A and B are shown apart, each in its own frame.
Chain A
Amino acid sequence: MSQPLLEVKNLRVEFPTRRGTLLALDDVSFDIAPGEVLGVVGESGAGKSLTGAAIIGLLEPPGRIAAGEIRLEGQRIDNLPYETMRAIRGRRIGAIFQDPLTSLNPLYTVGRQLIETIRTHLPLNESQARERAIRLLQDTGIPAAEARIDQYPHQFSGGMRQRVVIALALAAEPKLIVADEPTTALDVSIQAQIIALLKRVCREHGAAVMLVTHDMGVIAETCDRVAVMYAGRIAEIGPVGDVIHRPSHPYTIGLMGSIPAMDEDRERLLQIDGAMPRLNAIPTGCAFNPRCPQVFERCRRERPDLLDAGATRAACWRVEQPMTRAA
Chain B
Amino acid sequence: MTSALMEVKDLAKTFEVSAPWLNRVIERKPRQFVHAVDGISFTIERGKTLALVGESGCGKSTVARLLVGLYGPTRGTVRFDGQDTRTTLASGAARALHRRMQMIFQDPYASLNPRWKVLDIVGEPLREHGLAADGPELKRRVGELLQSVGLAAADAEKFPHQFSGGQRQRISIARALATQPEFLVCDEPTSALDVSVQAQVLNIMKDLQRKQGLTYLFISHNLAVVRHVADQVGVMYLGRLVELADKATLFATPRHPYTRMLLDAIPDIHMSGRSRTPVQGEVPNPLNPPSGCSFHPRCPHANERCRSERPAQLSFKGVLVACHAVQEGRI
Contacts and interface: CB of A to CB of B under 8 A. Distances in A.
Contacts of A273: 200
B199 interface: yes
B276 A187 contact: no
Given A258-B195, A262-B251, A217 B266 contact: yes
A321 to B, nearest CB: 25
B273 interface: yes
B221 A187 contact: yes
Nearest to A267: B206
A218 B195 contact: no
Contacts of B272: 220-221, 240-241, 244-245
B206 A268 contact: yes
B261 A220 contact: no
Nearest to A193: B278
A192 B276 contact: yes
Interface stretch (B110-118, B222-230, B311-319, B321-329): B222-230
A258 B199 contact: yes
A218 B276 CA distance: 12
A216 B266 contact: no
Interface size bracket, A side = 35 or more
A192 B274 CA distance: 12
29 contacts: A43-B194, A43-B195, A188-B222, A188-B223, A189-B279, A189-B282, A192-B264, A192-B278, A193-B278, A215-B267, A216-B195, A219-B269, A221-B273, A221-B276, A241-B272, A244-B269, A245-B270, A245-B272, A256-B269, A258-B199, A259-B199, A260-B222, A262-B268, A266-B228, A269-B199, A269-B228, A272-B196, A275-B164, A275-B197
B236 to A, nearest CB: 13
Q: Which 8 A-B pairs have the closest CB atoms?
A: A217-B267, A258-B199, A43-B194, A260-B228, A269-B199, A187-B55, A192-B265, A260-B224
A315 B256 CA distance: 46
B262 interface: yes
B88 interface: no
A229 to B, nearest CB: 12
Interface of B: 55-56, 164-167, 194-200, 202-203, 206, 221-225, 227-228, 251, 261-262, 264-276, 278-280, 282-283
Contacts, number: 129
B268 A260 contact: no
A191 interface: yes
Interface string A182-197: 0000011111110110
Contact of B224 (A189, A190, A262): A262
Contacts of A190: 282
Contacts of A266: 228
A221 B272 CA distance: 6
Contact of A192 (B198, B267, B269, B271): B267
Contacts of B164: 275
A214 interface: yes
Interface string A90-129: 0000000000000000000000000000000000000000
Given A44-B194, A187-B283, A267-B206, A216 B199 contact: no
Which of B165, B265, B268, B272 has the most chain A CB within a 10 Å cutoff? B272
Nearest to A194: B278
Contacts of B196: 43, 254-255, 258, 271-272
A255 B196 CA distance: 6
B224 A261 contact: yes
A157 to B, nearest CB: 5
Interface in A246-295: 254-263, 266-273, 275
A244 to B, nearest CB: 6
A159 interface: yes
